[in-house]
Amino acid sequence: MYKLFLPNEFVASVFEITPEKLKSLGIRGIITDLDNTLIEWNRKEATKEIAEWMRLMQEAGIQIIIASNNNEERVKRFAEPLKIPYIYRAKKPLGQAYKAALHKLQLNRNEVAMVGDQLLTDILGAKRLQLYTFLVRPVAESDGFVTRFNRFVERRLFKVLKRKGITMWEEQ
């Protein structure tokens, strides 16, 4: 059961995910979460660094789509200036948004990776569809209301994973 919560890789930030790394894995597309994955949950627009990371991915032929549980206004404000397609109110971990993202990317499951900061939404949903997963350390210490509950459950899951000998960011 815990395999559904276990990401393929733990990374400190999205900047550890390079086009070269993705290509070596056969990955041609990324579904990424927004809040606390790319930018802080309360920041409205992309940082210069995130915009540059996305540009580098696109120049390398890696497609990107954002799948966020947040509302359209929030996601659109971030994504449109970068010309990145998006899915809002994704209802992760349910599979519909992941399937819609695969359809929009026109890629197969084995060619797409999910990048997110939450086990209970991003990783669980992606693993159910057998996508490659990267769990990033949240970019902010604080969270919105709903996410605080998820973090409580995640801490328990991390303890179980640690007892099973699974290395996370803290040990790397």
Rounded Cα distance between 155 and 161, Å, is 10
The pLDDT assigned to 172 comes to 42
* Residue 169 in this model has a pLDDT that exceeds 60: no
The Cα–Cα gap between 98 and 107 comes to 12
Bridge partners of 64, per DSSP, are 30
Mean pLDDT of the chain: 89
Q: What tens digit of pLDDT does each residue of 80-113 get?
A: 999 999 999 999 999 999 999 999 999 999 999 9
Q: What is the pTM of this model?
A: 0.84
The helix (run of H) or strand (run of E) holding residue 125 is helix 124-128
Mean pLDDT value of segment 125-153 = 79
Domain segments of the chain as ranges: 2-171
User: How far is 54 from 37, CA to CA, in rounded Å?
Assistant: 13
Burial 73-83 (b: 16+ CB within 10 A, else e): ebbeebbeebe
CATH class of 2-171: alpha beta
145-158 confidence digits (pLDDT tens): 666 666 667 777 76
6 pLDDT band, cuts 50/70/90, is: confident
Judged by DSSP in three states, 52 sits in: helix
* Res. 66 pLDDT band, cuts 50 70 90: very high
User: Do 62 and 22 meet the contact criterion of CB atoms below 8 Å apart?
Assistant: yes
